[in-house]
Amino acid sequence: MMQEQMVVKKHSSIAKDIYEMVLAGDLVRQIARPGQFIHIKVGSGIDPLLRRPISIAELDRDRCEITILYRAQGKGTKMMAEMNPGEKLDVLGPLGNGFPVDALRHGQKALLVGGGIGVPPLYELSKQLKARGVEVRHVLGFESAAHAFYIDQFSALAPTSVATVDGSRGTKGFVTDALAGDGWNFDCIYACGPAAMLRALETEYPGRRGFFSLEERMACGIGACYGCVCRTKNSPDNATKKVCSDGPVFEMGEVLI
Amino acid sequence: MMQEQMVVKKHSSIAKDIYEMVLAGDLVRQIARPGQFIHIKVGSGIDPLLRRPISIAELDRDRCEITILYRAQGKGTKMMAEMNPGEKLDVLGPLGNGFPVDALRHGQKALLVGGGIGVPPLYELSKQLKARGVEVRHVLGFESAAHAFYIDQFSALAPTSVATVDGSRGTKGFVTDALAGDGWNFDCIYACGPAAMLRALETEYPGRRGFFSLEERMACGIGACYGCVCRTKNSPDNATKKVCSDGPVFEMGEVLI
Amino acid sequence: MTDLRVELPGLSLKNPVMPASGCFGYGREYSQWYDLSELGAIMIKATTKEPRFGNQPPRIAETEAGMLNAIGLQNPGLEKVMAEELPFLEYYDVPIIANVAGSTIEDYVYVSEHISKAPNVHALELNISCPNVKSGGITFGTDPVMAYELTRKVKTVSEVPVYVKLSPNVTDIVAVAKAVEAGGADGLTMINTLFGMKLDLKTGRPVLANETGGLSGPAIKPVAIRMIYQVSQQVKVPIIGMGGIQTAEDVIEFLYAGASAVAVGTANFIEPLICPRIIQKLPEVMEQLGVKKITEFVGRSHKQYA
Amino acid sequence: MTDLRVELPGLSLKNPVMPASGCFGYGREYSQWYDLSELGAIMIKATTKEPRFGNQPPRIAETEAGMLNAIGLQNPGLEKVMAEELPFLEYYDVPIIANVAGSTIEDYVYVSEHISKAPNVHALELNISCPNVKSGGITFGTDPVMAYELTRKVKTVSEVPVYVKLSPNVTDIVAVAKAVEAGGADGLTMINTLFGMKLDLKTGRPVLANETGGLSGPAIKPVAIRMIYQVSQQVKVPIIGMGGIQTAEDVIEFLYAGASAVAVGTANFIEPLICPRIIQKLPEVMEQLGVKKITEFVGRSHKQYA
Ligand SMILES: Cc1cc2nc3c(=O)[nH]c(=O)nc-3n(C[C@H](O)[C@H](O)[C@H](O)COP(=O)(O)OP(=O)(O)OC[C@H]3O[C@@H](n4cnc5c(N)ncnc54)[C@H](O)[C@@H]3O)c2cc1C
Ligand SMILES: Cc1cc2nc3c(=O)[nH]c(=O)nc-3n(C[C@H](O)[C@H](O)[C@H](O)COP(=O)(O)OP(=O)(O)OC[C@H]3O[C@@H](n4cnc5c(N)ncnc54)[C@H](O)[C@@H]3O)c2cc1C
Ligand SMILES: Cc1cc2nc3c(=O)[nH]c(=O)nc-3n(C[C@H](O)[C@H](O)[C@H](O)COP(=O)(O)O)c2cc1C
Ligand SMILES: Cc1cc2nc3c(=O)[nH]c(=O)nc-3n(C[C@H](O)[C@H](O)[C@H](O)COP(=O)(O)O)c2cc1C
Ligand code: FES
Ligand code: FES
């Protein structure tokens, strides 16, 4: 965990409002797992004031580079979208626990389910699972074909189904629709996306093994402010977990979504 | 008076913390007099929130360009100092009344006195007075030789005395020290600089004709907020004038400094 | 077609956007920038019985996402406002809300009685919340009993509906709001500035000659939204909301909170064309949100769940 | 050589900079970033008698130059804080100020009595100003009589000096300050957050699950400076100031206003190293201003002219 002025190496728009940015810096050495995130200060002033949490989508240890994929939606990400290669970005990271790649052995089966801007962390996860010899399948959901991104990259790694809300690409509907009838018997599910998607997966696969990456509004990103808590399930004492430092990845069933 | 995204044509540092910026745009056509100013929004966000008033130092009607000279001291001007040619600057202008050039006829004598960042508007003024055939002399005061700027430019127009607080260039002391013993019999004095300098000039030349350009903290810059008032002198009803729209230039003795 | 019209006591507004008092003078300066008839209404600068010369400069200080002002209610006095400023505004098709200030109840009553007779003054706004004058002003705004009393007395003389402008510098904004409603106020306007200060790094002294000043701008928006949200659930009279508005989206946030119309203050200083720009942008944002009538937004933060 | 030391009741501070309560947990997270012994002191997160689980998320919303929080005093409760958190902080050479919260006077008295016995707790900070809990908290901070009563009772049991944290959401901050001084407070800390709110553009609903929250960050600095300026001229006890501090220059502005030391809250979230960076920068700024002892700044905004 460190603070660093990372250098923007590449930056381009890859789908409607979606940007791909490659950042270089020493903090890459500290990254332990896919699903960890960085906490970005956009601009040097007080506007916007808070950092933005963004997942690490791909990791290149040799070049000390990471790729992030983000949607320019609000003030901070729109400002970020204006940046040019060569400029510097103030980053804290790596933060959070990330997905346990070692939950599966060679030959076991992993289903990776991503929705919208929940898709990015699954990319590095898939690469690392594949490297272990895990058999992977992807199901990715987007609003429309125009919003979809990285389908080719995911497809190059493993079989990839796509769902779009308007049906303009793949199955019409949500990721759960693309899953329906797919009798593939996975050993573990890894997912990241909107709360509604994660809840639907919990309902769909009760009692199965899985890991979900959650989102919550964050201030510190390091566990100090208690801004980003979620409740643990079935715990008698109403205990909470912090999404930033206990998460963002939790075992399916561990916390209330 | 208009709002315009002016284009930065040239930008360079010309003395310690002092920058020269050339701006191009249509509002140049509306400039009536030297001593008018523009009101600049630095950055596109809310930090800094307010515009910065900066005098027009030189005017090139043919190219639709103006030159401004400013000191990077606080948040806004420091941000401005980072700008590159080609970028755009959000400007309101031209604002204020400016110096009356026509107060003097051909052959009459004008003494122009400037202190620090009060020097800029005198440059265009001197050029226009000269063009009318007025005989001009300059007295410019700066903190030190390192802070001094535009001495060559002023000297090229007319005889120019310089004072610096530390004596590193010209007379040691204030502009009033450089004036002392100078028996030159001017018809009108034009001055811009710190309040202390203007008060000293009032004391030095009681009853003489003169025009002073004042500074005050501004919000709107157009006369609507009553933020920038000064009091008129000897007026029974305590009346006020707005520096932004009634000024920034006032006749010597008209307002309390 | 989107419908921007809003009906309030005394005011038939083309749209819910008006410049806030003290941030628009009496309209002359901004009339050089655009046709004032485009505005929903205009809240003119505070008017007192006698002319006021206000505080010493500096009167302005910039802060983070805000500014402090200590104008001190400078204005030419009732007589001149009636004779010179209001007639100028008659050239425009826009209702005027006259902001009234004073040091005593009698002052308020006197000014209200007279200014409410001006043909284009469609409503009064009692400024019981100016933090920058020594007597009167804010004391009326922080004491519910005095606020009630003042409102009641002004109501007996005013020929147009009376709005009361609340100060945010209070422990219990709802208590003051209820008091002025009980006093007969036809509407509320909120919020005035927060009471603040800035010190100079070199001298250690206050930047403002008046020492303290009123904080306005985006910095105070969350306080304004909270107060409107609380008050609108406890009173029946409509609210004109203000405090840090810069965009059409901000306007809608104020309507959601419970305001029926809004005023834009500080933003005029930065963008002289801000009001017409917001008015122009509103239909676009409404369409994105699928709302046809601007009045549908009002109070949505609580009403849809009530 | 510049001298950063400050002596306050119960606290011998190496320097006047400490993290503010609730913005630094119990120090564990930031101990990974720097040696906590560099700090003047640490104000730990509010501790209540029983564990509290706080409010539902979302608990955080960004605003212009500020943020809203509605944590709701989540903490593991007195027992765990005494057993697990305070002992961890004993590894560092830094005095701890324990922030105490509760719903009843008895709660405050109970927690104060116990936590003041911890060896590294050098002072208490009574949080009578949290806007995010339903009962207790802020009601003590807005009513001078209750504030007096609470302070007096806690003073009878505390083994260390007692500071009281004032809420800015009041009409008359001086009245509350005088009441707690009369109740025996050894010092004041101010300000807590302003009470604010943000609504979501799409749904119209509050962004925070708790609806309202506490506004902190640079946006509130002018209010903090004004209140410290007013209070420091009316009370004799020292003040620890806070509200939007981001830089060494901000620290000096708070000292000018009348604070003797300062706390940094929100800025920790943006710059984890903000406190040590400010501490390192202070001597440089002091040299520019020609000041040798940091204590010379205190109250300069009014004292030099008194
Ligand atoms: C652990 C984690 C990983 C994430 N990874 C990615 C990613 O790889 N790509 C991507 O596009 N997005 C990701 N997000 C969501 C991303 O943080 C938000 O989209 C972003 O903060 C919005 O900022 P803004 O400036 O666009 O919006 P604004 O509307 O200006 O944001 C205002 C405030 O709300 C917060 N906020 C708004 N939306 C969200 C959200 N969905 N989640 C958390 N905070 C939010 C912002 O951080 C900020 O504090 C992630 C979120 C978390 C918690
Ligand atoms: C009519 C007029 C003409 C001017 N012409 C020039 C010029 O040609 N060159 C130049 O360098 N400066 C000029 N100034 C001064 C210039 O406006 C300030 O130096 C500038 O606003 C400081 O902004 P900042 O961001 O550096 O400082 P900050 O400290 O960030 O400013 C904070 C606030 O204080 C105001 N402020 C600070 N200093 C002054 C000041 N001296 N006068 C007015 N407002 C101030 C700022 O506008 C801003 O609102 C002029 C001022 C006026 C009123
Ligand atoms: C320079 C200035 C002058 C003001 N003068 C008045 C006034 O005369 N009467 C009044 O009721 N409010 C006055 N106000 C308060 C505004 O009308 C408004 O309530 C406040 O500024 C909040 O809105 P804003 O954040 O959009 O500026 C003034 C505000 C400013 C900034
Ligand atoms: C996330 C968060 C949690 C807070 N929790 C507490 C708390 O537990 N006790 C308390 O007295 N103040 C609490 N505060 C208030 C701060 O200590 C401080 O008074 C306030 O935030 C102003 O300082 P700042 O602008 O530097 O943040 C909290 C503030 C924030 C932002
Ligand atoms: S964001 Fe601060 S604890 Fe998670
Ligand atoms: S700056 Fe607004 S009246 Fe001059």
Question: Which residue has the CA at smallest separation from atom 27 of ligand 2?
Answer: B74
In a domain, C1, yes or no: no
State pLDDT tens for residues C30-47. Answer: 999 999 999 999 999 999
How many angstroms separate the CA atoms of D62 and A160, rounded? Answer: 37
A69 annotated ligand-binding residue: yes
> Domain of C272: which CATH number?
3.20.20.70
Residue C146 CB: number of other CB atoms within 10 A?
17
Chain A residues within an 8 Å CB radius of D273: 3
Nearest to C277 by CA among C256, C250, C300: C250
In a domain, D162, yes or no: yes
A49 ligand 1 Cβ < 6 A:
no
> Which two structure tokens, joined as six digits, stand for D157?
């049991």
In a domain, C245, yes or no: yes
What is chain B's pLDDT, residue by residue, as a tens digit (257 residues)?
999 999 999 999 999 999 999 999 999 999 999 999 999 999 989 999 999 999 999 999 999 999 999 999 999 999 999 999 999 999 999 999 999 999 999 999 999 999 999 999 999 999 999 999 999 999 999 999 999 999 999 999 999 999 999 999 999 999 888 886 667 889 999 999 999 999 999 998 988 999 999 999 999 999 999 999 999 887 766 689 999 999 999 999 899 88
Contact by Cβ (8 Å): B148, B227: no
A207 annotated ligand-binding residue: no
CB burial readout C159-184, b (16+ within 10 A) else e: ebbbbbbbbbbbbebeebbbbbbebb
Residue D270: which of A51, A227, A229 has the nearest Cβ?
A51
| Domains assigned to chain A | 2-95 (2.40.30.10), 101-215 (3.40.50.80)
CA–centroid distance, residue D191 to ligand 4 (Å):
9
**pLDDT given at position A166:** 94
SS3 at position A48: coil
In a domain, D144, yes or no: yes
- Choosing from B217, B226, B230, B241 the residue with most ligand 6 atoms within 8 A of its CB, the one to mutate for a pocket test is B226
Q: Which atom of ligand 3 is nearest to the CA of C69?
A: 1
D241 annotated ligand-binding residue: no
What parts of chain D have a pLDDT lower than 70?
Answer: 130-138, 304-306
State pLDDT tens for residues C104-134. Answer: 899 999 999 999 999 999 999 999 876 666 5
**pLDDT given at position C135:** 57
Residue B42's closest chain C neighbor by CA?
C270
Residues with Cβ < 8 Å from B181, sequence gap 6 or more? none
C303 phi and psi, to 5 degrees? -65, -35
Question: Which residue has the CA at smallest separation from atom 31 of ligand 1?
Answer: A74
Amino acid occupying residue B191: A
How many angstroms separate the CA atoms of B176 and B113, rounded? Answer: 9
Whether the complex's predicted ipTM is more than 0.95 is answered with: yes
**Catalytic annotation, residues of C:** 130
> Which two structure tokens, joined as six digits, stand for B159?
């005889």
Sheet of C162-165: strand order equals C17-19, C261-264, C239-242, C187-190, C162-165, C121-127, C96-100, C42-47
In a domain, D1, yes or no: no
Q: Do A223 and D29 touch (CB under 8 A)?
A: yes
Shortest Cα–Cα distance, A47 to chain C (Å): 9
CA–centroid distance, residue D282 to ligand 5 (Å):
29
Residues with Cβ < 8 Å from B29, sequence gap 6 or more? B61, B64
pTM of the model: 0.97
CA–centroid distance, residue C265 to ligand 3 (Å):
6
Q: Which atom of ligand 5 is nearest to the CA of D60?
A: 1
Ligand 6 site residues, Cβ closer than 6 angstroms:
B 218-221, 223-228, 242, 244
Amino acid occupying residue C21: S
State pLDDT tens for residues D52-98. Answer: 989 999 999 999 999 999 999 999 999 999 999 999 999 999 999 99
Q: How many domains does chain C have?
A: 1
**pLDDT given at position D306:** 46
In a domain, C90, yes or no: yes
Ligand at shortest distance from the CA of A20: 1
D20 ligand 4 Cβ < 6 A:
yes
B76 ligand 2 Cβ < 6 A:
yes
In a domain, C167, yes or no: yes
Domain that holds residue C226: 6-304
D213 ligand 4 Cβ < 6 A:
no
What parts of chain C have a pLDDT lower than 70?
Answer: 130-138, 304-306
Chain D residues within an 8 Å CB radius of C169: 171
Distances (CA, A) of D230 to C65, C205, C211, D174, D219: 23, 14, 11, 7, 19
D partners (3+ CB pairs within 8 A) are A, B, C
Contact by Cβ (8 Å): C24, C45: yes
SS3 at position A212: strand
CA–centroid distance, residue C127 to ligand 4 (Å):
33
Contact by Cβ (8 Å): B2, B32: no
C239 annotated ligand-binding residue: no
How many angstroms separate the CA atoms of D261 and D7, rounded? Answer: 9
